[in-house]
Amino acid sequence: MAFDIAKSLFRTIASEGGSLTHDHFRTLQVRYVRLAEDTMHRYYADAMLNGLGFDRHSEELAVTTFAKSLGEAAEEFLENPLGLPLLPNWNRVLAAIPDCFDRLRLAVESDALVEAEGCCA
């Protein structure tokens, strides 16, 4: 999921005019790992101070996994910045199919009727 979210975020930044290069992604990944390690250290200290458990191995594994996902998303973005086309917004759908909402309502009503008849038969 982190992979898909990162790709979507990168494409959104690019669509707004942001420029993303290998250097930006390397910096992002390194900065993320550094901040995550610092945060883990603080949480570990808080847990020890308050006599709470802290699974440092699981936390470090999560950081490593997320950083890897960021790197993979960056690689895929750089290979194909446009990616798959995004779903059209409703204005575009209505321009192409003006009676879209009427069709959708009829389909839902028809499905509900079939389900009601099937359940009561």
Q: What is the pLDDT of residues 36-48, one digit of tens each?
A: 999 999 999 999 9
Same domain, 36 and 63: yes
- Domain of residue 36 covers 2-86
Number of domains in the chain: 2
- The alpha carbon torsion through 54, 60, 65, 68 (nearest 10 deg) reads 160
Same domain, 39 and 19: yes
User: Between 110 and 84, where is the model more confident?
Assistant: 110
Same domain, 16 and 70: yes
Determine the Cα–Cα distance for residues 109 and 34; give it in Å rounded to an integer.
Answer: 54
Instruction: Spell out the residues 6+ positions from residue 93 whose beta carbon is closer than 8 angstroms to its own.
Output: 100
Same domain, 19 and 73: yes
pLDDT, residue 113, reads 85
Same domain, 42 and 73: yes
Same domain, 82 and 103: no
- The one-letter amino acid code at 21 reads T
User: Look-up: residue for tokens 């990944």?
Assistant: 29
Same domain, 74 and 114: no
